[in-house]
Amino acid sequence: MVTTQAESVLGGSPYRADCPTRHILDRIGDRWTVLIVGALWDGSVRFSEVRRRVEGISQKMLTQTLRGLERDGLVHRTVHPEVPVRVEYTLTEAGRTLREPLRALEQWAIANLGNVSASQDAYDRGPTSS
Amino acid sequence: MVTTQAESVLGGSPYRADCPTRHILDRIGDRWTVLIVGALWDGSVRFSEVRRRVEGISQKMLTQTLRGLERDGLVHRTVHPEVPVRVEYTLTEAGRTLREPLRALEQWAIANLGNVSASQDAYDRGPTSS
DNA sequence: CGGGATCCAAGCAGATACTG
DNA sequence: CAGTATCTGCTTGGATCCCG
């Protein structure tokens, strides 16, 4: 235990593997988290509805990711003990604050899609005999 | 080819798998990209130096990720044909703009580490008999 | 020194079947 | 409907060897 504290992985010093920030990046880094947060953007959504929205996700990954988000306190889970069970998921306060940096990232992505595509294109074209 | 254009994966509509934004998220999502961008934060850095900074990364992953970033036009590669070959990596203009949203994300991570840890802790403690 | 190629292990993720 | 459990395939990534 080195009790490493919230250091910057980017700013210039410790890119250490044990930096706690890494864990967060790992989470949002997985294939589905961001999409699920997106699906919960506008309020309370049922399990099957999330599944429909994220489209392509398996039931296993959906459950797994949702539980991870719940564990991290980013998503709240509500079970309605009705005849056919109904479960609703909602972003918690913390989860909602995550939307901002995520949106920033998405804005960057949208703004740079052209650049990136063009660059890839040129790169793949080979040693561009200038 | 559906020529899907820069749609929002978050804002409320298409969480489609073919959304080009996904590709960007996939890239920054991998375990090393963010760390490498961090390592290149302050200018031109040699291969071995990057490797030392990112610490824990294998030579394979480093090369692979760097090439990916180069292909995306986020990192520039310069080869100095000296006796022992010397290669330097630098963030391109596009690469530098990526630092902002990344920093925002990191800020969020740092700000929420406490929340998240506490939540995980509570979650793991079991069905909290309130 | 930088990095390509290969081999192999571990983890991630999908399909399926079964429960409350 | 909303999950859990299992089995399996595929991808990811590390270790190693070799080349410029």
B93 touches chain A (CB under 8 A): no
B18 touches chain A (CB under 8 A): no
Of the pLDDT bands very low, low, confident and very high (cuts 50, 70, 90), residue A14 is: very low
Contact (Cβ atoms closer than 8 angstroms) between residue A7 and residue A14: yes
Q: Is the CB of A114 under 7 A from strand D?
A: no
Helix (H, G, I), strand (E, B) or coil at B61: helix
| Structure confidence by residue, pLDDT tens digits, A45-98 | 999 999 999 888 999 999 999 999 999 999 999 999 999 999 999 999 999 999
Looking at the complex, report in whole angstroms how far the Cα of residue B125 sits from the nearest Cα belonging to chain A: 11
Residue A10 has pLDDT above 80, yes or no: no
Interface subset of B 46-65, CB within 8 angstroms of A: 53-56
Amino acid at site A6: A
Q: Is the CB of B66 under 7 A from strand C?
A: yes
Distance from CA(B129) to C1'(D12), angstroms, rounded: 40
Distance, in Å, from the CA atom of B23 to the CA atom of B26, rounded to the nearest integer, reads: 5
Residues found in chain A: 130
Distance, in Å, from the CA atom of A25 to the CA atom of B16, rounded to the nearest integer, reads: 22
Interface subset of A 95-124, CB within 8 angstroms of B: 97-110, 112-113, 115-120, 123-124
A28 touches chain B (CB under 8 A): yes
Looking at the complex, report in whole angstroms how far the Cα of residue A84 sits from the nearest Cα belonging to chain B: 23
Helix (H, G, I), strand (E, B) or coil at B62: helix
Binary contact (B15, A39; C-beta < 8 A): yes
Q: What is the predicted pLDDT for the residue at A45? A: 97
The model scores a pTM over 0.95: no
Binary contact (A10, B109; C-beta < 8 A): no
**In whole numbers, what is the pLDDT of chain B averaged over residues?**
84
